[in-house]
Amino acid sequence: MALIVQKFGGTSVGTVERIEQVAEKVKKFREGGDDIVVVVSAMSGETNRLIGLATQISDQPVPRELDVMVSTGEQVTIALLAMALIKRGVPAVSYTGNQVRILTDSAHNKARILQIDDQKLRADLKAGRVVVVAGFQGVDEHGNITTLGRGGSDTTGVALAAALKADECQIYTDVDGVYTTDPRVVPKAQRLDKITFEEMLEMASLGSKVLQIRSVEFAGKYNVPLRVLHSFQEGPGTLITIDEEESMEQPIISGIAFNRDEAKLTIRGVPDTPGVAFKILGPISAANIEVDMIVQNVAHDNTTDFTFTVHRNDYKNALQVLEQTAREISAREVIGDENIAKVSIVGVGMRSHAGVASRMFEALAKETINIQMISTSEIKVSVVIEEKYLELAVRALHTAFELDAPARQGE
Amino acid sequence: MALIVQKFGGTSVGTVERIEQVAEKVKKFREGGDDIVVVVSAMSGETNRLIGLATQISDQPVPRELDVMVSTGEQVTIALLAMALIKRGVPAVSYTGNQVRILTDSAHNKARILQIDDQKLRADLKAGRVVVVAGFQGVDEHGNITTLGRGGSDTTGVALAAALKADECQIYTDVDGVYTTDPRVVPKAQRLDKITFEEMLEMASLGSKVLQIRSVEFAGKYNVPLRVLHSFQEGPGTLITIDEEESMEQPIISGIAFNRDEAKLTIRGVPDTPGVAFKILGPISAANIEVDMIVQNVAHDNTTDFTFTVHRNDYKNALQVLEQTAREISAREVIGDENIAKVSIVGVGMRSHAGVASRMFEALAKETINIQMISTSEIKVSVVIEEKYLELAVRALHTAFELDAPARQGE
């Protein structure tokens, strides 16, 4: 008999019919003998409806009051799901973040969980009840309602699993697991049975939108086995866990991640003096623009070129800031490019295998794809290429690292 | 500087625009130097929307979970009103029933308030904040969310006023006060400046829907001065208070109440033996039918006639029960009549004035209106008449007891 925390997002509970389907699923697990804690989001669209009401009053609603309002979204869902379970003869009880008590700090709209009181939940589970908890919300030490910010329901699920020392935290989504890459780009992409927290973090931060980064970090920190599953299809999903046994069969690369959300800026002919990187990035940071990749090559002729990427939405803004900086530090010119894409190979296996990067570059070279920037971490190699080559690059790397699914019978 | 509790119902906060208007009104009072606690209902339609969701899952939703859900209605309104106040530079803070802490019993969907913690509220008022409290809801000793049942927001207002020893509890509605009778029936009906709790209770129970009976009882019990006002029109409204000074000018009758909601049943030729009233009304009560007026005349020929009224919705059901009883106790016949109306004169003044009833009967006789049943209490005389004479009767009584407004200039 296992203790499982199951989290269902807004789409999975988007209608009364879907809530009934979720109740059926929970019932099956319960009948299988597992203890179940369910975490749910607001019905899809509800949070936006509530924020819409608030912004009719003020463009910048008071954060404390916005939390009072927005937290009602999940409160409705927990009640509906508990009703649907009880209707099916499954004893159930719902709790808001405040009722559990999920203690957070007082940073309204983006609070962090400090502590979870597991007493009530344990008593309910012992009494055979399914506990339905509102995701995304908590309460601060003064009794004020707080929310964890968008996507915070995943974090609630993981935090509850950690507090209860659950055997597994299952995140139900609209995909049946984590894939080697986006199946829309590479039809031969395969569902991964397992992936490590580190890999998942890299995949998530690179555009695989399956899980919230924060919940993966949290799960990794507290070593909560996390499983991504499809809400309404059967299947084992993908288990995200620590990298316990490094087996011989472990693939070098787990997946190919990519995104088209970035733009590249280069400032050329920068006098190569100490502190120049700060002079360039300081104003960017001051303008609240986040920088992703940064590349600076060795100088020659006492000048250097400095290149970095920002989110495409910040591109125009960043360009202006950088042109101002260029004048101030007497750089030669500023050039920018919005038509880029970032492609990364991710895998804990590359730690113990040399030559992964060169195999990547070779695969791209074969397709005559020019590499504009390179950046590496312990379990990832990222390159920036021209955007139009993105699909070609991903498919080439998917094949080169032997991730393609074997052709099925009849294909 | 007074401490005022102001309650705004669902229609008064039905749209964001109206919430802004309420904020304007509250702001004016605050600027006048008063301390303000505002109690609000859910935006009109919201409670029904939520119940609609619940009944999609179950015809009889679990009461505990229904409260979790329905209580979100007011939670949205308190946040919006607090935002609207803060936008206007009025410091404000919102509290749910649980946050205040409005402690109730555990009778979900119809809970009763046991105790109100006034500590937080007093601290906020002292700090110059307007406190916005969710009506209609509380929390039981186990931390479960409860609701007081429909119309419970009035009760929340009165209970808060009592706990805080407020100078006045103002109930904002869609009428500008309590009238001598329904102005749609009698155009010369006048707004009352003052009315006693007892009179208001009689008026309310007889169909004047201005205030919830429970909140008037509550206000009377704790002697909270209650004022009925129009949400969006200026005016003094009607003050409901204890009958402190019985002045000479006090009218004998404060108002004429009426309703068409009842039906009359008579069982004739009942053997006049002890316990017969119980034999007749016992089965009616067992069928969950509430009885209003009961009249039994003196017997002759050892049989008697027994008449009572029930809500018109219960008429058919009551008729069936009564026919069964008639067979069992060998009564002669059962007759019923749905086309009746009840008209009552109400006034604490009648306590000290003889002849009020005869003046009433005289006025009806003049219009040749036949009286079918009579029932009296210390401050009320009610008669049942044929429904078609209702308007005529009300107008005749309104004139006979000198309640008509003087003709205005130019009329």
Is B310 marked within a binding site? no
A3-174: which CATH topology?
Answer: Carbamate kinase (3.40.1160)
**What percent of chain B clears pLDDT 90, i.e. is strictly above it?**
72
Please check whether residue B189 touches A, CB under 8 A: no
Euclidean distance between CA atoms B149 and B328, whole angstroms: 39
Q: Which amino acid is at A9?
A: G
Whether A56 sits inside 8 A of B16 (CB atoms) is: yes
DSSP state for residue B409 in the 8-state scheme:
T
Instruction: Specify the pairing of strand A130-134 against strand A262-271.
Output: unpaired
User: What would the mean pLDDT of B69-76 be, rounded to a whole number?
Assistant: 97
- Give the tens place of pLDDT for each residue, A112-157: 999 999 999 999 999 999 999 999 999 999 999 999 976 689 999 9
Mean pLDDT by 10 residues, chain A (411 residues): 94 96 96 96 94 95 96 98 98 98 95 94 97 97 90 90 96 91 91 91 72 84 93 93 64 89 92 84 90 82 88 95 94 94 90 83 93 88 94 96 76 41
Q: Please give the pLDDT value at position A36.
A: 98
Which sequence spans correspond to the domains of chain B? 3-174
Please check whether residue A86 touches B, CB under 8 A: yes
Query: Is the Cα torsion angle A239, A245, A250, A254 positive or negative in sign?
Result: positive
Mean pLDDT, chain A, as a whole number? 91
Encoding tokens for residue B308? 């009572």
CB A78 within 8 A of CB A94: yes
- Give the tens place of pLDDT for each residue, A214-234: 888 889 999 999 999 999 999
B295 backbone dihedrals φ, ψ, rounded to 5°: -135, 130
Query: Where does the pLDDT of residue B6 fall: very low under 50, low under 70, confident under 90, or very high at 90 and above?
Result: very high
Encoding tokens for residue A71? 């937290």
Whether A53 sits inside 8 A of B76 (CB atoms) is: yes
Grouping H, G, I as helix, E, B as strand and the rest as coil, residue B198 is helix
Q: At what angle do helices A72-87 and B63-70 cross, to 10 degrees?
A: 160
- Give the tens place of pLDDT for each residue, B365-392: 999 999 999 888 888 999 999 999 999 9
Q: Which residues of B115-146 are buried (b: 16+ CB within 10 A; e: fewer)?
A: ebebebbeebbeeebbbbbbbbbbbbeeebbb
CB B198 within 8 A of CB B255: no
Please check whether residue A83 touches B, CB under 8 A: yes
Task: Give the position of tokens 């039918």.
Answer: B289
Encoding tokens for residue A46? 């509800």
Q: Which residues of A are less than 8 Å from B54 in CB distance?
A: 79-80, 83
CA-based nearest residue to A41, from A137, A118, A138, A168:
A137
Please check whether residue B64 touches A, CB under 8 A: yes
- Give the tens place of pLDDT for each residue, A166-218: 999 999 998 899 999 988 899 999 999 999 998 988 887 665 667 778 888 88
Residue A23 to chain B, least CA–CA distance (Å): 11
Euclidean distance between CA atoms B364 and B325, whole angstroms: 35
Query: Where does the pLDDT of residue B278 fall: very low under 50, low under 70, confident under 90, or very high at 90 and above?
Result: confident
H or E stretch including B196? strand B194-196
C-alpha distances in Å from residue B56, one per residue of A14, B59, B88: 14, 7, 40
Euclidean distance between CA atoms B37 and B104, whole angstroms: 20
Q: Please give the pLDDT value at position A410.
A: 47
The contacts of residue B349 (CB under 8 Å, 6+ apart) are B250, B251, B252, B253, B254
Please give the angle made by the CA atoms of B59, B60 and B62, to the nearest 5 degrees: 135
* ipTM, 2 dp: 0.81
Residue of B nearest to A53 (CA): B16
Residue A74 to chain B, least CA–CA distance (Å): 9
Q: Which residues of B are less than 8 Å from A57 in CB distance?
A: 16, 19-20, 80, 83-84, 87
A368 backbone dihedrals φ, ψ, rounded to 5°: 55, 40
Mean pLDDT, chain B, as a whole number? 91
Encoding tokens for residue B39? 């109690």
CA-based nearest residue to B215, from B160, B164, B138:
B160
Instruction: Specify the pairing of strand A373-377 against strand A340-346.
Output: unpaired
C-beta neighbour count of A353 within 10 angstroms: 11
Question: Which residue among B16, B50, B68 places its CB closest to the CB of A78?
Answer: B68
How many CB pairs (< 8 A) connect A and B? 101
Question: Which residue among A54, A72, A99 places its CB closest to the CB of B72?
Answer: A72
Q: Please give the pLDDT value at position B207.
A: 59
Is A209 marked within a binding site? yes
Is A347 marked within a binding site? no
Q: Which residue has the higher pLDDT, B408 or B40?
A: B40
The contacts of residue B348 (CB under 8 Å, 6+ apart) are B196, B198, B199, B243, B246, B250, B254, B379
Query: Where does the pLDDT of residue B71 fall: very low under 50, low under 70, confident under 90, or very high at 90 and above?
Result: very high
- Give the tens place of pLDDT for each residue, B290-325: 898 888 877 777 888 889 999 999 999 999 999 999
Q: Please give the pLDDT value at position B151.
A: 62
Residue of A nearest to B79 (CA): A65
**What percent of chain B clears pLDDT 70, i.e. is strictly above it?**
95
Q: Which residues of B are less than 8 Å from A21 in CB distance?
A: none
**What percent of chain A clears pLDDT 70, i.e. is strictly above it?**
95
Instruction: Specify the pairing of strand A102-104 against strand A113-116.
Output: antiparallel
Please check whether residue A353 touches B, CB under 8 A: no
Whether A79 sits inside 8 A of B94 (CB atoms) is: no
Is B74 marked within a binding site? yes
User: What would the mean pLDDT of B187-214 be, rounded to a whole number?
Assistant: 82
pLDDT at B248 over 60: no
Question: Which residue among A58, A65, A83 places its CB closest to the CB of B57?
Answer: A83
Query: Where does the pLDDT of residue B411 fall: very low under 50, low under 70, confident under 90, or very high at 90 and above?
Result: very low
Please check whether residue B49 touches A, CB under 8 A: no
